[in-house]
Amino acid sequence: MSSPSRSGVFSKAADRRVERFTESVSFDHRLYAHDVAGSIAHAQMLAKVGLLTESECEQICRTLEAICGEIEAGKFLLRTELEDIHMHIEQALIERLGDVGRKLHTGRSRNDQVATDLRLWMRDALDRIDGRLLEVQKAFVGRCDPDFDVILPGYTHLQRAQPVLAPHYWLAYCEKLERDRQRVADCRKRVNVSSLGAAALAGTSLPIDRQDVAKRLGFADTAANSLDVSSDRDFVIEAAFLLAMIAEHLSTWAEEWILWSTAEFGFLKLPQEFCTGSSIMPQKINPDVLELTRGKTARVIGNLQALLVLVKGLPLAYNRDLQEDKERIFDSFDTVELCLELAAPLVAGATLNRRAIAEKLDRGHLDATTLMEWLIQRGTPQRTAHHLVGRLVGTASERGCRLADLKIDDFRAADASLDNSVYDVLGVERAIGAFKSYGSTAPAEVRKQIERWKTKMSGSQQR
């Protein structure tokens, strides 16, 4: 059978090789439920405006629901010559209802139909992503109280910089994920716009009611320009970008925890159910889930690039190139959702190696900046204090000791005005206690942030 999409203008059937080349049902079949929902809403609108009788509408809706059930049960045959899931469903409807089924496509094109189905699918997918992000946030917040007394070395350039409380670190990821959730919510607004009824590119001369369909499908708005509707894939690319950002954040977290779980760092013990072994080395406990989370970020970024390149040279309006958008955006959603699904229990199940962290905490002169700021408060200009503490760090490094282990004469050699009060600000614990600014790792500030996030999480639901 030749594709029903080929009109009477064709005198020859499509080449079988063309059918194989142009088919998309192998990947767009996942849109079946959304296609049926869109078609039912379209049929109900056609009945409302008098383009279908109530009886015809009822037959169409009932048959569409039956077809949807068959697809869901795996009892529906997919055929290459029918190209996509939209033609499969429509052809099944025609085979069962004849001319009544042929009336369904009144006032619409596959161009606006496909865009509508994809928007409906993405709306659900964005909601799932938001829920997964929330789960990871809750896992990080859940660690804050038990880990409150743990001080970690903070890094810049992967060099030890200043001390931070462990919950300050956990909440840093909550902030990143919150921005991701905001992007999801913002993207959803532009996804939640109805394309249906724009037809091929210019609209239709039939008396359809596009706002009625939009309302039935739960869309917040109706796209205003039919020419734009036919070519628009901004909403797909925007979603691909936000998914790439989520993947980037997960990759950063994965990279740090991979490092922390090494013998060289020894900060973290990963839950074994999220690790794998070696085929030859019996001692190995490999962080494969984290490594794959880091690695899968590459494909999500690649999908974004592919989509940008896909649309960069397309003239208005619809071009068949746009069929290529679905595999990329489906893969990005699937990949990020799976990574998030594993991230939440992995975050919750990891254990900080408190002893190893404490034993190494005095390395790197993490209190140097606190000493500099103490000198500033005594009236020393910042650049002078910076240079002075740098000399003291150099002395301590040469001797292989902490700043707190230097003699008072060493401090007086750098600044004759210094006395034994200098020791009151030295050491990692004192450095932590010295912080004051909003958003810092000061214990009082961190406690406020923990409580803020607890309140936020207790009342937070999927957007």
DSSP 3-state percent helix, strand, coil across the chain (nearest 5): 65, 5, 30
Amino acid symbol at 53 = T
Beta strands in 129-191 (DSSP E): 151-156, 159-165
Burial of 283 (0-12, 13-18, 19+ CB in 10 A): exposed
**Residue 29 annotated as catalytic:** no
Q: Give CA–CA dist 375/369, Å, rounded.
A: 10
| CA distances (Å), origin 67, targets 32, 35, 45, 71, 291 | 9, 11, 20, 6, 42
Element (H, E) at 110: helix 110-144
Q: Which of 7, 11, 157, 205 is catalytic?
A: 157
Let me know: does 285 contact 277? Beta carbons within 8 Å: yes
Residues in contact with 422: Cβ distance below 8 Å, sequence separation at least 6, in sequence order:
371, 374, 408, 411
Radius of gyration of the chain (CA): 30
Q: Give CA–CA dist 325/310, Å, rounded.
A: 8
- Which tokens in the block code for residue 312? 């960069």
Of 42, 33, 41, 214, give the one whose Cα is nearest residue 125. 33
Q: Give CA–CA dist 378/359, Å, rounded.
A: 32
Q: Give CA–CA dist 51/154, Å, rounded.
A: 67
Q: Which of 55, 278, 397, 417 is catalytic?
A: 278
Q: What is the DSSP secondary structure assignment for residue 11, as one 8-state letter?
A: S
- Beta pairing partners, 154: 162
**Residue 157 annotated as catalytic:** yes
Which residues participate in catalysis according to the annotation? 157, 278
